[in-house]
Amino acid sequence: MKLFDLRGGVHPEGRKDLSAERHIRALPLPKKLFVPLQQHIGAPATPVVKVGDHVLKGQLLAAAQGTVSSSVHAPTSGVIVAMGDFPAPHPSGLPVPTITLESDGEDKWIATESVDDPFALSPENIAARVAVAGIVGLGGATFPAALKLNLSRSSGVQTLIMNGGECEPYLTCDDRIMRERAGQIVEGIRLIAIAVAAKEVLVGIEDNKPEAIAAMQAAAEGSAVKVVTMPSMYPMGSEKQIIQVLTGKEIPAGGRPADIGVLVHNVATAFAVQQAIRYGRPLISRIVTVSGGAIKTACNVEALVGTPVQELIDFADGYVQPAARLVLGGPMMGQQFTNTEVPVVKGTSGVLALTAKEIGQAEASPCIRCSTCVRACPVGLLPLEMASRIRVSDLAGAVAFGLKDCIACGSCSYVCPAHIPLVHYFNYAKGDLAGQERAKLKQEATKKLADARNERIARIERERAEAAAKRKAAREAKERAAKEAAAKVEVV
């Protein structure tokens, strides 16, 4: 199959060898699980349980709220011991609404509905079951999968791309799941293809994963699923880039993949879909890579959602030396954190403990206008120009240079010889713009409420005036009638 050129990109040191040959192992059952109500893009889920309730594994804890939301299920059986704020896996560490579940040690499943022939289900039924299972994109975006399926089907998607790129350094969770569970993944891919009525199904895997490629090719043999080997380059696993490489199509600024007839899902999401459709199992666990120079024994573990990160670190035999930085996800786009009691969530792909040598921090110096960042940008933007405008608070100018199209991959920061944290500028500016947009929406909503109030007051006054006019007219008519009647009497 012909591959198309990808602009920009970088080749960071992979460090995948630390965990690539480590088989997936199940993490011991934690005593307590901390399950946040928002592990996805959109509105947080609404609790349907209360403190003191005994729940079974897979039981619904919180239901999706609105169109863009996702439900949350019990990762094991036990008792709900608390419902309140708990530190979130986010750089701020701010608490978020969380359900605390104390395990009873039995790990007993709720009754689930299996399907003998999932390929006989209708597209709508498949999407509905995916929604019930609380599945979100496991590649990092955590967009509700069912909504993505429905939108893609209504948009007339022709090509389904399964992302097995896993271009982030250190991470090997997708590599291992493709090696060890290729059959289930391919079945999940075929079900997703039915759900969106895709005519072409491609699985893109970087060429640094030969074992995963071989396993997926063997599992896909005889089906319409085509496994494609892609060159290893960061950020090959980004949605926009994998589409461009495999199809030659480019998502328009501000657009979605569905606009060009494409849907992208992660291979781990396909496994979750297969488990939900065939066995009725909700998304309550995921594969996580625990790695980094500070970790004693790098590994790939299947961790229940809500498991404290510290338990994953302990399972990897702890630290071999002090960690200079802790990261959830990959080192390029992951989130730094300090509190190891934060829980694993649906979007947690990795837990990295990096040494000072691995970080290689250097003090930033002035931009030398070398344009290295421009050549590295996979979207074709001008990072130096955007950063120069953000530094003087000219956000409109940064937007004019394409700030909203930036995928925050960090390629520009990685190659900058002046060690300028360019992607930090962009993330800051995006947050500021989002805050301004929220303030604008709030102002517009307030204005609408004020206009509605003024209109209501004017309507009431108008109705009162009209009622008063009617009463006056009626009174005058009555008086005229009385005068006319009196005049008739006098004439008689």
Whose tokens are 């960042």? That residue is 373
The answer to whether 377 is annotated as binding is yes
416 annotated binding-site participant: yes
Could you tell me if 283 and 273 are in contact, meaning their C-beta atoms sit under 8 angstroms apart? no
- Could you give the CA distance from residue 139 to residue 191 in angstroms, rounded to a whole number? 18
Exposure string of 399-427, with b = 16+ CB inside 10 Å and e = fewer, is bebbbebbbbbbbbbbbbebebbbbebbe
Place of tokens 């344009």: 371
What token pair was written down for 238? Answer: 């980004």
The answer to whether 412 is a known ligand-binding residue is yes
Cα 390 from Cα 427, distance rounded (Å)? 11
217 strand-pairing partners: none
Q: 43: helix, coil or strand?
A: strand
Q: What is the DSSP string of 378-394?
A: TT---HHHHHHHHHTT-
Cβ–Cβ < 8 Å for 145, 269: yes
Residue 373, Cβ density class (10 Å: 0-12 exposed, 13-18 middle, ≥19 buried)? buried
Q: Distance (Å, rounded) from C-alpha 99 to C-alpha 362?
A: 41
Q: Answer yes or no: are the C-beta atoms of 164 and 271 closer than 8 Å.
A: no
Tokens 């879909």, located at residue: 273
173 carries a ligand binding annotation: no
Coil, strand, or helix at residue 197?
coil
- Strand runs labelled E in 358-416: none
Give SS3 for 211.
helix
Residue 60: which of 70, 45, 77, 72 has the closest Cα? Answer: 72
Coil, strand or helix at 221? coil
Per the annotation, does 167 bind a ligand? Answer: no
Cα 90 from Cα 95, distance rounded (Å) = 9
- Would you list which residues are annotated within the binding site? 367, 370, 373, 377, 406, 409, 412, 416
- Would you list which residues are annotated within the binding site for [4Fe-4S] cluster? 367, 370, 373, 377, 406, 409, 412, 416
